[in-house]
Amino acid sequence: MSFGDPNNPYGPPQGQQPGYPPQQPPAQPGYGYPQGAPQQPGYGYPQSQQPAYPGYPGYPGGNAMAMEMPGLMKTSRVLLFILAGFQILFGLIAGIAVGAVQDVSNGVGSGDDTDALAGLGFVMAGFMLAVGALSIFLGVKFKNGGSGIRITTIVYAALMILGGVYNLVTGGGGSTTFGGLISLAIAGIILASMVNSAASAWFNRPRY
């Protein structure tokens, strides 16, 4: 059986059975792709589809977790505020008491003899007020201060420990000894909160 002349331009193409519609070649990818065809990620993606980078602020969709202050530092911060209250209170009481004693001395005519002692008392009262202000300053700066606040707090706690030891030695078992014990306990907690790795990470954390 003959299917016609293969050289006939009006006949079916070679390899094509007569009576069947001509087959279209498969579409090449990238040429005439329909609009809804899947696209390669990263090319023409909408902004909302960009991958997020959690933990790194500044990247699209990034959600940085805020670092939390260590628990021991929170305790030390509260102790600093409490300590500041007592220091300021004692400073005010000492200043008022020294002034009252000096007024009495002036009234009896011996004010010149007590001027030096009154001056020393006022210096001590002013020192207590200044230390109380320092305690408040350090406690406030715990939140956003840097390594300088940490070093200052370490020095402050170390001096408190030395003062507590001195009061224990010279207190003779009285109220001064009790005050030395309280100072040692508070200063020990503050110092311990400053010399560990958690405190170093907190004060050296990046701030955005």
**Domain definitions of the chain by residue range:** 71-203
pLDDT score of 194 more than 90? yes
- To the question of pTM greater than 0.75 for the whole model, the response is no
158-to-11, 48, 55, 70, 126 alpha-carbon distances in Å:
105, 54, 37, 21, 21
Query: What average pLDDT is seen over the chain?
Result: 77
pLDDT band at 56 (very low <50, low <70, confident <90, very high): very low
49 has a pLDDT exceeding 70: no
Task: Tell whether the model's pLDDT for residue 37 goes beyond 90.
Answer: no
CA–centroid distance for 118 within its chain: 45
Query: Looking at residues 113-135, what average pLDDT do you find?
Result: 90
> How high is the pLDDT of residue 35?
54
